[in-house]
Amino acid sequence: MEDHTIRLASDYFKSSQYPRWLDRTLRVHVCNPVQGFPGRITEDNIVETLTIPVYSVTLTKESEYFQKLFGSGFREASGHVVDIYIAVKEKEAFQQILLLCTDASDISLTDVEELLTLWNLSDRLMFKRSCLYAVKTLTNTSLTWQQCIIIIEKSFQFCSNQCQTKKLVEKCTRTLIDHFQDLHFLKSRIEEDQVLLNELKALPLSALEALLSSDHLPVQREEVTFYGMVIWAQHNAATREEEQQLMTKMAVHIRFPFMKPEVLSTLTEICEMGDPVCQQFLVEALKYRAASDEMKEKYRSEAVGHSRFRWRIGYYKPIKVITLEHPRKQATVHMSVLLDDLEAMITDGVLEYESFNLSGNRFCFRIIQTSSPFVAKKRIGLEMLLKNNSFARIRCDIRVSMWSQVQMKFVNKFREFHTFEAENTVFSYPDLLSKDWKEYTQVMDCERKIYICVEFLISWMSK
């Protein structure tokens, strides 16, 4: 042990030939954590003690902890020996911290548990360099969703580099989203889905908040996230009052403005949402739903930094429908597609649009992205689903045009006739742009929109 201590001091400070630089001695007490309190360390549980000669100027430069310690009125400021208490599992991490203080090139930790220990100890002793090393390495390391939960929970306790920590938390949140997908299992009775449901209920509050607050959670309707929050709160609360407190704390992450008005009206009456904060969110959402486009834009601009006015990527997209019932059954559909939405689509992805009813028939539009295994290009197409409740055969005269605001011209037009002869029939036009859509993104600003106008004339045909 003594030989190792001498070698460590020599490697760390590169000063074996300058022993006069070593003006302090670290007396590192390696302890077993207190039983039942894994984060608590006391001098009563010391396993071994390491003696390491150090240079106080280097420690002061690298650590705010030692900077305050040596610059204070404590005995360590003038004394020669400094006592440090660490856990048994932190012994290796502490040695790595000392090596990292000199930009040691032989540090190559890859084990996630070791990196978490290094991060925890570095944050406690305020070593900036090793904190940043641990966070950056974790960001570039493959993580399981269970490890991501631990990291998210720890990230709210640590005071290390916030910018880099934010990137790590975003990565961990994406991993959680990949695991829980679109929360489709909330009402499922399938055994595999029940496993996911139990895992969701067991999430710590910090991990659930990270999941619910993410723009990338691919739920199609916001009601799903609210239901997930209720299930979690009911499972983790011992009393009705505690359940209300948990829901109030998490309500800021629910995007109430994108719920249906009838759902919002119902929520205002349930006791769990009776807190003034929750009521304020609900009233705000009802006003938003009833507001004009200009007022909605004002709401969003005044709520900078609040995610509750931002769309999640999985939402059904809104469409505007103009119907003319006489003398012919006719509807004009307007859809707008953000290029960001197209870029977010995975291979064979789908952008769902809200359906609407016309003369007892339900119409639903989808933007479909497809790619050929033989050609490295992605195509954007249109798919229309019609559920016929009244007639055996329906003929549609479909006209589709796409307008580019940036190029100030129609990028494509087409017209086709289609006859539906059965229920749940699908009309599909596979290629709206007639070229790879990325060729347009090179010209267009991603904040601009592509406008799709769908016009169709419906006539009923006898069998």
pLDDT digits (tens, 9 = 90+) for 100-123: 876 665 567 778 888 999 998 988
CB contact set of 398 (below 8 Å; sequence gap of 6+): 384, 415, 416, 417, 418, 427, 429, 454, 455, 456
Count of alpha carbons within 13 angstroms of residue 12, beta-carbon side: 25
150 within a domain of the structure (yes/no):
no
Helix/strand/coil percent split, the chain, to 5: 45, 25, 30
Quote the percentage of the chain above a pLDDT of 70: 75
Total number of domains in the chain: 3
- 361 and 445 housed in the same domain: yes
Residue 242 lies in a domain: yes
Higher pLDDT, 59 or 71: 59
Residues 188 and 296 in one domain: yes
Q: Is the pLDDT of residue 333 over 90?
A: no
214 in any annotated domain: yes
pLDDT digits (tens, 9 = 90+) for 341-386: 666 665 557 788 888 877 777 788 888 877 665 556 677 888 888 7
pLDDT of residue 172: 94
Verify that 287 and 380 share a domain, yes or no.
Answer: no
Alpha carbon distance 79, 65 (integer Å): 16
Residue 10 main-chain phi, psi, to 5 deg: -70, -45
The dihedrals phi and psi of 123, each to the nearest 5 degrees, come to: -70, -40
Token look-up 């699908």 returns 426
CA distance 249 to 205: 10
State which residues form the domain around 118: 2-122
Is there a single domain that holds both residue 324 and residue 269? Answer: no
Single out the residue of 348, 353, 380 nearest to residue 366, CA to CA: 353
| pLDDT (average), residues 444-451 | 59
The least confident of 17-26, 119-128, 217-226 is: 17-26
> What CATH number has the domain bearing residue 30?
3.30.710.10
Say if residue 283 is in the same domain as residue 355: no
**Phi and psi torsions of 429, nearest 5°:** -115, 110
- In this structure, what token pair is assigned to residue 331? 């509807």
Flag the least confident range among 170-174, 231-235, 237-241, 441-445: 441-445
Is residue 29 scored above 80 in pLDDT? yes
Q: Where does the pLDDT of residue 12 fall: very low under 50, low under 70, confident under 90, or very high at 90 and above? A: very low
Could you report the per-residue pLDDT of 172-228, keeping only the tens digit for each? 999 999 999 999 899 888 888 999 999 999 999 999 999 999 988 989 889 999 999
CB-CB neighbours of 53 under 10 Å: 19
